[in-house]
Chains A and B, each alone.
Chain A
Amino acid sequence: MSKRFTFSVDGKDRTVEADPETPLLYVLRDDLNFSNPHFGCGQGQCGACTVHVDGEATRSCVLPVEAAENARIVTLTGLGTEKPHPVQQAFIDEQVPACGYCVNGWVMTAAAFLDRTSKPSDAQIRDALSGLKCRCGTHMAILRAVKRAAQAMAR
Chain B
Amino acid sequence: MNTITALSRRDALRLSGGLVVLFSTGVAAADRKGAPDPTSLDSWLAIGADGNITAFFGKVDVGQGLDVAVAQMVAEELDVPVAAVSIVMGDTSLTCNQGGASGSTGVRQGGVALRHAAAQARHHLIQRAAEYLRRKPADLATADGAVFVVDAPAQKVAYAALLRGKYFQSQIRWNGKLGNALGLTSTAKPKAPDQYKIVGQPVSRVDIPGKVMGTKDFVTDVRVPGMLHGRVIRPPVAGAVPMEIDRKSVASIPGVQIVHRQGFLGVVAPREWDAIRAADVLQVTWSKVDPPFPAFAALHDHIRKAPAIKETVDKTVGDVERALAGAAKRITAEYTWPFQSHACMGPACAVADVRADGVTSWSATQKPHFQQEGLAKLLKRPLDTVRVIWMPGPGSYGRNDAGDAAMDAALLSEAVGKPVRVQGMRHDGHAWDPKGPASVHTLRAGLDKDGNIVAYDVMNKGFSRVEVAVSEADPSDTLAGKLIGFPDKPGAGFGSPSDVYEFANRRLAWQCVAPLMPGASPLRGAHLRDPVGPQNLFASESFLDEIALAAKVDPIALRLRYMKDPREVAAVKAATERAKWIDGPPGARRQMAGAHPSGMGFAFARRGDTLVAVIAQVEVDRDTGRIWARKFVVAHDCGQVINPDGLRHCIEGNVVQGLSRAVHEEVLFDQSMVTSRDWSTYLILDIADAPEEIDIVLIDRPELAPEGAGEACTAAIPAAVVNAIFDATGVRMRAAPLSPARVKAALTAKTV
Contact = CB atoms under 8 A, between A and B. Distances in A.
A138 B344 CA distance: 14
Contact of B395 (A22, A23, A80, A135): A135
Interface stretch (B181-189, B378-386, B651-659): B651-659
Nearest to A129: B687
A132 B684 CA distance: 10
B649 A100 contact: no
Tell me whether chain A's interface is mostly helix, strand or loop, or mixed.
loop
A82 B65 CA distance: 27
Given A30-B272, A101-B395, A46 B688 contact: no
A120 B55 CA distance: 45
A68 to B, nearest CB: 15
B392 A99 contact: yes
B214 A100 contact: no
A41 B678 contact: yes
A18 B272 CA distance: 12
A35 B2 contact: yes
Interface string B339-376: 00001111100000000000000000000000000000
B469 to A, nearest CB: 23
Given A30-B271, A133-B679, A97 B213 contact: no
Interface in A31-65: 33, 35-36, 38-43, 45-46, 48
Most buried by A among B2, B272, B345: B345
Contacts of B654: 137
Interface in B137-174: none
Contacts, number: 170
A108 B613 CA distance: 36
A118 interface: no
A14 to B, nearest CB: 15
A141 B649 contact: yes
Nearest to A77: B214
B208 A142 contact: no
Contacts of B657: 135-137
B678 A45 contact: yes
Interface residues of B, number: 60
Contacts of A33: 1-2, 223
A95 B204 contact: yes
B212 A96 contact: yes
Nearest to A76: B214
Given A35-B2, A45-B678, A95-B205, A29 B212 contact: no
A153 interface: no
B666 to A, nearest CB: 16
Contacts of B685: 137, 139
Nearest to B273: A26
Interface string B197-227: 0000000110111011111111011010000
A100 B690 contact: no
A134 interface: yes
B656 A97 contact: no
A148 B217 CA distance: 26
Interface string B30-69: 0000000000000000000000000000000011100000
Nearest to A90: B212
Given A40-B426, A140-B691, A135 B2 contact: no
A142 B687 contact: yes
A126 B63 contact: no
Contacts of A76: 213-214
Given A36-B214, A38-B394, A41-B678, A127 B688 contact: yes
Interface in A78-136: 79-80, 84, 88, 91-92, 95-104, 107, 126-127, 129-136
B217 A139 contact: no
A19 interface: yes
A41 B347 CA distance: 8
A92 B271 contact: no
A42 B273 CA distance: 11
A107 B656 CA distance: 20
B656 A98 contact: no
Contact of B394 (A26, A75, A99): A99
A60 to B, nearest CB: 12
Contacts of B670: none
A143 interface: yes
B346 A42 contact: no
Given A84-B212, A139-B685, A143-B687, A40 B273 contact: no
How big is the A interface, by class?
A: 35 or more
Contacts of B687: 126, 129-130, 132, 134, 139, 142-143
B205 A143 contact: no
B277 to A, nearest CB: 9
B396 interface: yes
Contacts of A80: 213
A133 B645 contact: no
Contacts of A88: 212-213
Contacts of A75: 214
B694 interface: yes
Contacts of A132: 687
Interface in A1-29: 18-19, 22-23, 26, 29
Nearest to B645: A95
B698 interface: no
Nearest to B425: A42
Most buried by B among A35, A79, A103, A127: A35
A26 B394 CA distance: 18
Interface in B209-255: 209, 211-218, 220-221, 223, 229
B521 interface: no
A46 B679 contact: yes
Nearest to B215: A77
B686 interface: yes
B423 interface: yes
A134 B345 contact: yes
A95 B218 contact: no
Contacts of A136: 63, 345, 395, 653, 657
A104 B423 CA distance: 18
A36 B218 CA distance: 10
B100 interface: no
A141 B423 contact: no
Given A48-B346, A140-B656, A99 B272 contact: no
A143 B690 CA distance: 9
A131 B686 contact: yes
B534 interface: no
Nearest to B657: A137
A33 B659 CA distance: 37
11 contacts: A33-B2, A35-B221, A91-B212, A97-B63, A99-B62, A100-B212, A102-B345, A126-B690, A135-B344, A135-B394, A136-B657
Interchain residue pairs A-B with the least CB separation, the first 6 = A137-B656, A100-B211, A76-B214, A98-B63, A101-B394, A77-B214
Given A88-B213, A137-B652, 9 more contacts: A26-B272, A29-B272, A38-B218, A48-B345, A75-B214, A100-B218, A130-B686, A135-B395, A141-B652
Interface of B: 1-2, 62-64, 204-205, 207-209, 211-218, 220-221, 223, 229, 271-273, 276, 343-347, 392-396, 423, 425-426, 645, 649, 652-657, 659-660, 678-680, 684-688, 690-691, 694
